[in-house]
Amino acid sequence: MGNNFIENIWIDTKIFENASMLKSININKIYGLDSAYRIWEEANNTILNCNNNEEKLNQGFLSLKRAFNVTSIELRKNLAIDKIKYDSKKKSKDFLGDLEYFEIIKTVTISKYLKIRNLIEHENHLPPSANDCLSLSEYIWNYIRNTAYILNQFSECLAFDSDDNRYNKIIFEYKVEKKGKIYYPHLFITGLVSSFLVSFKSKRNFIDVEKIKLLNKFEIKKKIESEQYAYLMDDLSHIAFEGEILDQNVIAKYIKLMILPEYGGLDEISIKSIF
């Protein structure tokens, strides 16, 4: 089935009503944080055992930045939050602002640390006291732990299906693409949807799906593993498709609901609030 004449379709969010949800979590995401834990532990022990030795205190203080960097790299690799261009984003390169926006951690402490670190490296400034260094160490520990929790909870794939008179299935896949040293986020969507839930023009409370490719029933069997329902396409009662959600605010809301417990998680009810 050709798709040259269609670029967008809109899916009614009613598709989530009476739907059941399945999710897929990749627990291997957190293994990249092992080195961050090791670096943090070594830095923390150096600070604890510095015995007021300025050089050792300095070494431990500066090593905490490595733990921060490694953790931040894992966030970028797995979520690419720094490349999501949500409306309130002030600068294209503002990772601390991204951490604040996605409520991963407050950044006042790390901002102060970075200023002191620059003074140490460029102006031979003295490091903070051992107690202040240990307070920063605790902050970095919390950052690593928060990141581990987020990556451990993040679902790469969410599938919603319903068999309430008319069968519908829709799958969201969050993937990160690496180009050179930069990671870019993608929110892909695949569906077998009743025709009455599909619009070919923009509507409120509908999901805007772009880069559309319409699928034939052989392709949809592979994509959504619903071979028994592929026949629904024979009488045009359903449309099968794959595409991508490009709205950056939608992607940002999707991640927030996915990773933050205070938002109640992402399910068949809360997902409607995104669109």
Report the 3 state secondary structure along the chain. CCCCCCCEEEEEHHHHCCCEEEEEECHHHHHHHHHHHHHHHHHHHHHHCCCCCHHHHHHHHHHHHHHHHHHHHHHHHHHCHHHCCCCCCCCCCCHHHHHHHCCCCCCHHHHHHHHHHHHHHHHCCCCCCHHHHHHHHHHHHHHHHHHHHHHHHCEEEEEEEEEECEEEEEEEEEEEEEECCEEEEEEEEEEEEEHHHEECCCCCCEEEEEEEEECCHHHHHHHHCCHHHHHHHCCCCEEEEEEEECCHHHHHHHHHHHHCHHHCCCCCCHHHHHC
Q: How many domains, in total, are found in the chain?
A: 2
Residues 144 and 175 placed together within one structural domain of the fold: no
**Domain membership of residue 62 as a residue range:** 29-153
**In the structure encoding, which two tokens stand for residue 171, read together?**
């799958």
Last residue of one domain, picked from the residues 153, 177, 200: 153
- The answer on pLDDT for 227 being more than 80 is no
Residue 93 sits in the same domain as residue 194: no
Residue 23 is predicted with a pLDDT of 80
User: Of 99, 132, 153, which one is at a domain's C-terminal end?
Assistant: 153
- Residues 45-54: what's their mean pLDDT? 91
Per-residue model confidence as pLDDT tens digits over 198-225: 999 999 999 999 999 988 877 877 776 6
Question: pLDDT tens digits, residue range 168-208?
Answer: 889 999 999 999 989 999 999 999 899 899 999 999 999 99
119 and 51 in one domain?
A: yes
Let me know whether 118 and 175 are in one domain. no
Q: Do 262 and 247 fall into the same domain?
A: yes
Q: What is the pTM of this model?
A: 0.87
- pLDDT, one tens digit per residue, over 54-105 is 889 889 998 999 999 999 999 999 999 999 999 988 887 889 999 999 999 9
Which residues in 216-242 are b (16+ Cβ under 10 Å) and which e? ebebbbebbeeeebbebbeeeebbbbb
Residues 129 and 220 in one domain: no
Same domain, 199 and 217: yes
Based on the domain organization, do 193 and 127 belong to the same domain?
A: no
**One domain, residues 80 and 138:** yes
